Amino acid sequence: MSELETPFPMNDGHFVRLLAKHEPEIRAYIRASLPSSQDVAEVMQNVSLVAWNKFNLLENAEADFAKWVCVIARFEIMKFRRGLARDRFVLDDDLVQKLCEEGEQEIDQRAEEIRHLEHCLEKLPEDRREIVIDAYRPGASIKELARGRGKKPDALYQLLRRIRQQLEACIHRQLELLGKMNA
Amino acid sequence: MNEADNKLIDTYLDGNLASDQAAAFQELLRNDPEARACLRRRAAIDERLTDLAASAVAIDRRTSDSTLTVRVESAVEPKVIPDQTARGSYTPLQIILPWAIAATLAVILFVGREATEKDPQTQVKAEPFIGLLVDEAGAEFEPGFGPQDVKFNRGEYRLQKGAIHLRLENGTDVVMGSPVAFEIHDAFRLTLDEGILSAYVPPSAKGFTVAAPGIDYEDLGTEFAVAVNPASGASELHVFDGQVDAKIADSRSTVSSVYGGESVAFAEGALQPADAPDERRFLTRGAIGFLRWQQETKRRITDPGLIAFYSFSGSGQVLKNEASNAVVSDGKIEGARWVSGRWPEKSALLFDRESDFVEIDIPGKYEEMSFAAWVKLDRLDHSLNSILNSNGKDPGDLHWEIAPDGAVILVRRFDEPRVSREDLLTIPLGRWIHIAGTISTVDGESRVYLNGELASSELGPLTSFVPGLSRIGNWLNDKNEHKRWLCGRIDEFAIWNLKLTPTEIKHFAEAGKPNSLWSVTPGSAAASGRLRSENTWSDEP
């Protein structure tokens, strides 16, 4: 038997699958309480490690994984905030707790929203989709992006804001339509 | 919430909240549950866009078909590990980890390793790794020289059979066909002792080096291949795109900078220009998909329930039924032309005229049937667009068609009542899609799947199926008054005399996907067709 015929370890595979499935909504949950996406990446890494380490303790993994990871994330967010430089703005403890508590209840809804975001993004006119993707690329600068497109930074910022509002409205509309269809 | 509150939330998420706005922002969140809910919603959008843009960058570096649509769709690839309980046997290595999982875990595990070093209280259950197997075709390693499951760490590897696509944690893709022997030192350095590898190196992995006997090939963000002859120690470097520096191993002094389209050979201490290589020697990421499909096909055609399997591998006017239990006739090709399929090496038939079709005879009477095809649609010109139709319209006929909004319909009952129908997903244009369907008189259900996901289901009384003479890509009706020919390509078609399970269908979709980065999210039925007008963007800049 070749080495590769060793069965795939179920725990690792199971964990990977669940994490891959729920990562977007977990990241979203963390993002609401932290000032930037870079912070989310750092907290997410810690959260993933802790979750992996404790995965054997989770009984009903299929049903409870996302909420369970959120509980871990809440603890990691609080820990992370304490390590941030004093000159950075962070939300007060009570607000973070509140956002997390409410966010945990919304985790399934968030997953749905994210799923629809991807469809809504596809519906954007190509030039707008390009603007969004370019603006969110790692290291992107609104100033440089604006210069490249012959726009003023403020105008581009406003356009981005409008596009995000459109995406939000599109998600809302899609969920509403699905709700009607399923009613 | 007013406009000022809205703006405050956006400003916070953009990281531009001024110190004199902070108190007002916190006050708003404290007192207004809607503001908190809004923040969470927008944070989700913000974070997902960040993630998609980062993924798009990664994919942009790797794919030649780099339209934004493709990049974004690839970035939102469904993350699926096939269930191993499906019919038929497939090895653990056929577990295909999509790149997104690979990237995620790579980050987790690398940080895990660092965290363990920094914090002894943090226990990591699994070994960290440097690379992950993202795709393979029949791969077999020498015992003791293979990866741990799908994880590659520092160490020596010897691939004896098949081909692999390995992704390193810095984003470098390495594709190798057997026999190959290599050693991974870290994500930026790999020694090739024997065989051929192709590397696709993103800018983030600039400096990635393939060491061959006596010489290092250091990449500056590009695509290249290295071949090493284990007997003589001679090596070749072929740069497909970008620049690679050849450096003497000991001194690390650059001997030559090799640019896209150039080749060099190193033997007995001397580096010489070399002839352009035969590119067929070098595996691409797509070639692994083709190999995987060929191997899967060999296994699948022996399934006794499979009564027709058209691989579209031939030429001429006959579409050969390659199933071992070939109950259905070979196909007679009329009009449809041979073109390329999912991979350059694979053929497909193009249907785009009224006179184009493949006629097959499906003899017998069935209580259950399943169908699967790989299709790439160019247009949906007609009120119904044929995939497979029995000639005529009699009870027991088969009718598998696509509506103009992309909804796929399997078995339209002309004179029987419809109990219920639910469309969840629609088929998009211009992309290879795995489309499958099952019908059963036992439970009265017909189901359609797109890329392995349930797209629609319909309940209603069904009579036994007697398909008889049928056409792929068209419909022959009495008065020839209904135009329903297909506009697009088909490069695989299969028919079973049983009802496939969702797991089996998902497995077939995964096994035939064009490459490891391929992903298409079918459209949402709610967002297409009759509802499309509600989703039109109107706020132009």
DSSP summary character for residue B366: B
| Interchain pair A3, B521: CB under 8 A | no
pLDDT for residue B412? 61
Residues in CB range of B25: below 8 A, 6 or more apart: B8, B9, B12, B17
Distance between CA atoms of residues A111 and A118, nearest Å: 11
Q: Which of residues 139-198 of B touch A (CB under 8 A)?
A: 139-141, 143-147, 149-150
> pLDDT grade, residue B50 (50/70/90)?
confident
Burial of residue B495 (number of CB atoms within 10 Å: 0-12, 13-18, 19+): buried
Q: Does A117 touch chain B (CB under 8 A)?
A: yes
Q: Does A24 touch chain B (CB under 8 A)?
A: yes
> pLDDT grade, residue A13 (50/70/90)?
low
Q: Is the pLDDT of residue B190 over 60?
A: yes
Rounded to the nearest angstrom, the minimum Cα separation between A55 and chain B is 10
Distance between CA atoms of residues B286 and B269, nearest Å: 35
> pLDDT grade, residue B99 (50/70/90)?
very low
Regarding beta strands B432-440 and B337-340, do their DSSP bridges make them parallel or antiparallel, or are they unpaired? unpaired
Q: Considering chain A, what percentage of its residues have pLDDT values greater than 90?
A: 22
For residue range B385-395, list pLDDT tens digits in order. Answer: 999 999 887 88
Return the bridge partners of B401, or none.
B386, B409
Q: Does B44 touch chain A (CB under 8 A)?
A: yes
> pLDDT grade, residue B114 (50/70/90)?
very low
Q: Does A88 touch chain B (CB under 8 A)?
A: no
Residue of A nearest to B107 (CA): A45
The larger pLDDT score, comparing residue B363 to residue B315, is at B363
- Residues A44-72, mean pLDDT to the nearest whole number: 85
- Residues in chain B within 8 Å Cβ distance of A106: 37, 40
The two tokens of residue A55 are: 């995965």
| Interchain pair A52, B108: CB under 8 A | yes
Q: Is the pLDDT of residue B436 over 90?
A: yes
Residue of B nearest to A91 (CA): B26
Q: Is the pLDDT of residue B495 over 90?
A: yes
Q: Is the pLDDT of residue B245 over 60?
A: yes
Q: Does B527 touch chain A (CB under 8 A)?
A: yes
Distance between CA atoms of residues A40 and A38, nearest Å: 5
Residues in CB range of B23: below 8 A, 6 or more apart: none
Rounded to the nearest angstrom, the minimum Cα separation between B534 and chain A is 8
Q: Under a CB-based contact definition with an 8 Å cutoff, are residues B412 and B393 in contact?
A: no
Which of B59-63, B123-127, B397-401, B520-524 has maximum average pLDDT?
Answer: B397-401
3-state secondary structure of B176: strand
Distance between CA atoms of residues B102 and B221, nearest Å: 21
- Residues B319-337, mean pLDDT to the nearest whole number: 95
Return the bridge partners of B24, or none.
none
| Interchain pair B537, A37: CB under 8 A | no
Q: Using CB atoms, which residue from A46, A92, A130 is nearest to B26?
A: A92
Q: Quick one: which of B324, B391, B403 has its CA closest to B362?
A: B391
pLDDT for residue B128? 60
- Residues B120-145, mean pLDDT to the nearest whole number: 69
pLDDT for residue B199? 93
How many Å from the N-terminal Cα to the C-terminal Cα in chain B?
A: 25
Residue of B nearest to A130 (CA): B68
Q: Which of A47-51, A64-68, B368-372 has the lowest mean pLDDT?
A: A47-51
Beta strand spans in B335-414 (E): 337-340, 347-351, 357-362, 368-379, 385-390, 399-402, 408-410
Return the bridge partners of B226, or none.
B197, B237
Q: Which of residues 226-285 of B touch A (CB under 8 A)?
A: none
Residue of A nearest to B148 (CA): A4
Residues in CB range of B380: below 8 A, 6 or more apart: B402, B403, B404, B405, B406, B429, B487
pLDDT for residue A10? 39
Q: Is the pLDDT of residue B54 over 80?
A: no
Q: Does B442 touch chain A (CB under 8 A)?
A: no
The larger pLDDT score, comparing residue B424 to residue B437, is at B437
pTM: 0.51
Rounded to the nearest angstrom, the minimum Cα separation between B416 and chain A is 24
Burial of residue B218 (number of CB atoms within 10 Å: 0-12, 13-18, 19+): buried
- Residues in chain B within 8 Å Cβ distance of A99: 29, 36, 39-40
Q: Which of A50, A133, A165, A168 to mutate to test the interface with B (most CBs of B within 10 A)?
A: A133
Q: What is the mean pLDDT of chain B?
A: 78
| Interchain pair A24, B48: CB under 8 A | yes
Residue of B nearest to A179 (CA): B526
Rounded to the nearest angstrom, the minimum Cα separation between A15 and chain B is 10
Q: Does B28 touch chain A (CB under 8 A)?
A: no
Distance between CA atoms of residues B237 and B224, nearest Å: 7
Q: Using CB atoms, which residue from A30, A113, A132 is nearest to B41?
A: A113
pLDDT for residue B301? 93
| Interchain pair B150, A178: CB under 8 A | no
Q: Quick one: which of B490, B219, B189 has its CA closest to B337?
A: B490
> pLDDT grade, residue B367 (50/70/90)?
very high
> pLDDT grade, residue A36 (50/70/90)?
confident
The two tokens of residue A175 are: 């969920």
Q: Which of A9-23, A127-141, B259-273 has the lowest mean pLDDT?
A: A9-23
Rounded to whole angstroms, what are the CA distances from B350 to B195, B268, B377, B421? 38, 52, 10, 31
pLDDT for residue B535? 23
What does R_g of chain A's alpha carbons equal in angstroms?
20
Rounded to the nearest angstrom, the minimum Cα separation between B141 and chain A is 7
Q: Which of residues 30-69 of A touch B (CB under 8 A)?
A: 30-32, 35-37, 40-41, 45-46, 48-49, 52-53, 55
Q: Using CB atoms, which residue from A89, A123, A159 is nearest to B537?
A: A123
Q: Does B466 touch chain A (CB under 8 A)?
A: no
Scanning B398-514, the segments in alpha helix (DSSP H) are 502-511
Q: Does B417 touch chain A (CB under 8 A)?
A: no
Q: Which of B11, B41, B48, B74 to mutate to test the interface with A (most CBs of A within 10 A)?
A: B48
pLDDT for residue B261? 86
Three-state secondary structure string covering B30-99? HHCHHHHHHHHHHHHHHHHHHHHHHHHHHHHHHCCCCCHHHHHHHHCCCCCCCCCCCCCCCCHHHCCCCH
A19 CA to centre of own chain = 12
Q: Using CB atoms, which residue from A8, A19, A103 is nearest to B92?
A: A8
> pLDDT grade, residue B409 (50/70/90)?
confident
Q: What is the mean pLDDT of chain A?
A: 82
- Residues in chain A within 8 Å Cβ distance of B535: 120, 123, 170, 173-174
- Residues A22-43, mean pLDDT to the nearest whole number: 89
Distance between CA atoms of residues A4 and B462, nearest Å: 46
Q: Under a CB-based contact definition with an 8 Å cutoff, are residues B528 and B405 in contact?
A: yes
- Residues in chain B within 8 Å Cβ distance of A129: 68-69, 72
pLDDT for residue B126? 41
- Residues in chain B within 8 Å Cβ distance of A177: 526-527, 531, 534
pLDDT for residue B107? 43
Distance between CA atoms of residues B174 and B508, nearest Å: 25
Q: Is the pLDDT of residue A168 over 70?
A: yes
Question: In 10 A of CB B338, how many CB atoms?
Answer: 14
The two tokens of residue B79 are: 């993350």
Q: Does B48 touch chain A (CB under 8 A)?
A: yes
